[in-house]
């Protein structure tokens, strides 16, 4: 695991609203940089730890304060490769009353629970595990069948709702977002559908 931005977070994309990575209308933050580099990853453009993608926490806080949702999805890239930055982001999100925080990671929950329990305390739901090419998932918000939805929140209503989501089938909804010369497709497609896409980045 490597973190490499002292003053802020390396960020690939911030977008609002996001409807395809977690329930409801959400703020989406994709970090830049991933050391895991799964074969068949849909977002290799997020692998490089590019210092030019650094955002200050002041900038990030403006997004947290400026949207009318309290639901956040953090993806990437690999959020836990920037543990200090991720922790700061989550603390800021709680400060701005975000109460549904879903984080994608290529590491397993068990590893993170050993290394970063203080970060997981601020996460409500974790989708964990590396992307495994050829292991198709039929479940919503997951890219391969090994990935689990780990419910960490103790809020009984949220636990109830996410237990239902954890069993829900994929709905195939994707969002298309244009940023400059780059098209981002937001969501988790079937692996069998990805080959048919020819765009700059598929953002999980």
- Among residues 79, 85, 106, 189, which is the contact residue for ligand SF4, using CB under 6 A? 106
- Among residues 36, 159, 166, 183, which is the contact residue for ligand SF4, using CB under 6 A? 36
Q: Identify residues 159-198 at the interface with ligand SF4 (CB under 6 A).
A: none
- Sign of the torsion angle spanned by Cα atoms 29, 31, 32, 34: negative
Asked if residues 95 and 6 have their Cβ atoms less than 8 Å apart, the reply is no
Q: How far is the CB of 161 from ligand SF4 (least distance, A)?
A: 25
31-39, 51-59, 66-74, 94-102 -> range binding ligand SF4 (CB under 6 A): 31-39
Q: State the Cα–Cα distance between residues 199 and 26, nearest whole angstrom.
A: 23
- Among residues 2, 37, 66, 172, which is the contact residue for ligand SF4, using CB under 6 A? 37
- Among residues 77, 187, 189, 201, which is the contact residue for ligand SF4, using CB under 6 A? 77
Instruction: Tally Cβ neighbours within 10 Å of residue 145.
Output: 15
Confirm or reject binding of residue 10 to ligand SF4 (CB under 6 A): no
Question: Within its chain, how far is the Cα of 165 from the centroid?
Answer: 16
Q: How far is the CB of 17 from ligand SF4 (least distance, A)?
A: 22
Q: State the Cα–Cα distance between residues 163 and 68, nearest whole angstrom.
A: 25
Q: Considering beta carbons, is residue 88 or 132 the nearer one to ligand SF4?
A: 132
Q: How far is the CB of 70 from ligand SF4 (least distance, A)?
A: 25
Exposure pattern of 67-91 as b/e (b: 16+ CB <10 Å)? beebbbbbbbbbbbbbbebbbbbbe
Q: State the Cα–Cα distance between residues 31 and 28, nearest whole angstrom.
A: 10
Given the rule CB under 6 A, which residues bind ligand SF4?
Answer: 34, 36-38, 41, 43, 46, 76-78, 106, 130-131
């Amino acid at each position: 695991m490597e973190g490499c931005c002292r003053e802020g977070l390396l960020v690939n994309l911030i977008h609002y609203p996001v409807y395809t990575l977690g329930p409801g209308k959400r703020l989406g933050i994709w970090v830049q940089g991933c050391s895991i580099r799964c074969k068949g990853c849909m977002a290799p453009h997020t692998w490089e730890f590019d210092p030019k993608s650094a955002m200050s926490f002041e900038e990030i806080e403006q997004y947290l304060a400026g949207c009318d949702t309290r639901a956040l999805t953090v993806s990437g890239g690999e959020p836990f490769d920037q543990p200090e930055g991720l922790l700061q982001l989550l603390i800021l999100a709680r400060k701005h009353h975000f109460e549904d925080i879903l984080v994608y990671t290529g590491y397993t929950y068990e590893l993170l629970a050993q290394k970063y329990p203080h970060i997981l305390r601020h996460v409500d739901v974790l989708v964990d595990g590396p992307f495994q090419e050829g292991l198709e998932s039929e479940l919503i918000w997951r890219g391969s069948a090994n990935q689990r939805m780990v419910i960490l929140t103790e809020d009984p209503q949220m636990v109830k709702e996410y237990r239902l989501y954890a069993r829900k089938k994929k709905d195939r909804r994707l969002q298309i977002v244009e940023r400059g010369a780059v098209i981002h497709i937001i969501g988790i497609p079937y692996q069998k559908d990805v080959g048919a896409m020819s765009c700059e980045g598929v953002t999980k």
